[in-house]
Amino acid sequence: MTTPRPETMAPKLTPEELLRRMCLRHGLPPDYAIKLIPVVRRAMDSPEEVRERILTMVDGNLAQHAADRTLEPPEARDPDDAVLLAVARLMHHWTPSDAALDPDSDYGGLDLTGFGTP
C-alpha cells in the first residue's frame, strides 16, 4: 500500500482546497480541474480505502494532464490539419499518433481507394 500524500490526510480540507493543492503540486493552474470537484467531494465522503483509491485516480489523471501540457505538439503540414488537430485535442483530450500525422502513412493498412485528395 502506498503512503498517503499529506494533503489527503488533512481532514479539514474542503474538496475544492484539496483539488487546488493537487493541481498546484502538478504545476497546473489552481482551477484547472474544477470539473472534478464532485468526484473529490464523493471521495471525501467515502470510507478511507475508497477515498484513497479515488484520490489516487484523480492525482494520476492530473499528473497525466500536466505531462501532456509539457509535450510540444507536432507541426501541422496544412492549416486545415492544424485546426482539426486543435479542435480534436480540446474536444477529446487526444494526441494523434505519428502515423496519423504522416501523409505517406498507409493508415494501418486501411484501403482508402476512392477517397482521393481534393
Are 46 and 85 members of one domain? no
Are 36 and 64 members of one domain? yes
Domain residue limits at 98: 79-107
Are 58 and 84 members of one domain? no
Q: Are 85 and 96 in contact (CB under 8 A)?
A: yes
Claim: this prediction has a pTM higher than 0.75:
no
Residue-wise pLDDT tens digits, 50-80: 999 999 999 999 998 888 877 655 554 567 7
Query: Cell 500500500 identifies what position?
Result: 1
Q: Is residue 84 part of a domain?
A: yes
State the Cα–Cα distance between residues 68 and 60, nearest whole angstrom.
12
Are 49 and 95 members of one domain? no
State the Cα–Cα distance between residues 21 and 12, nearest whole angstrom.
13
Are 18 and 55 members of one domain? yes
Helix (H, G, I), strand (E, B) or coil at 28: coil
C-beta atoms surrounding 86 within 10 Å = 12
State the Cα–Cα distance between residues 62 and 56, nearest whole angstrom.
10
Q: Is residue 113 part of a domain?
A: no
Alpha-carbon separation of residue 89 from 53, 73, 84, 107 (angstroms): 28, 10, 9, 20
What pLDDT was estimated at residue 56? 94
Best mean pLDDT range from 2-16, 39-53, 63-77, 83-97: 39-53
Q: What is the CA radius of gyration of the chain?
A: 20
For the segment 17-37, the average pLDDT, to the nearest whole number, is 92
